[in-house]
Amino acid sequence: DVKVTQSSRYLVKRTGEKVFLECVQDMDHENMFWYRQDPGLGLRLIYFSYDVKMKEKGDIPEGYSVSREKKERFSLILESASTNQTSMYLCASSLFGSGRTGELFFGEGSRLTVL
Partner 1 sequence: DAKTTQPPSMDCAEGRAANLPCNHSTISGNEYVYWYRQIHSQGPQYIIHGLKNNETNEMASLIITEDRKSSTLILPHATLRDTAVYYCIVRVVNDYKLSFGAGTTVTVRA
Rounded-to-integer distance, Cα 21 and Cα 5, Å = 11
Rounded-to-integer distance, Cα 87 and Cα 114, Å = 9
Among 1, 10, 42, 62, indicate the residue that binds partner 1 (CB under 8 A). 42
By CB under 8 A, what part of segment 74-113 binds partner 1?
Answer: 90, 92, 98-99, 101-109
Q: How near is the Cβ of 56 to partner 1 at its closest, in Å?
A: 7
With respect to partner 1, which residue has the nearer C-beta, 17 or 86? 86
With respect to partner 1, which residue has the nearer C-beta, 20 or 96? 96
Rounded-to-integer distance, Cα 96 and Cα 104, Å = 11
Rounded-to-integer distance, Cα 113 and Cα 115, Å = 6
Residue 109, amino acid: G
Applying CB under 8 A, the residues found at the interface with partner 1 are: 4, 31, 33, 35, 42-43, 45, 48, 50, 56, 58-59, 90, 92, 98-99, 101-109
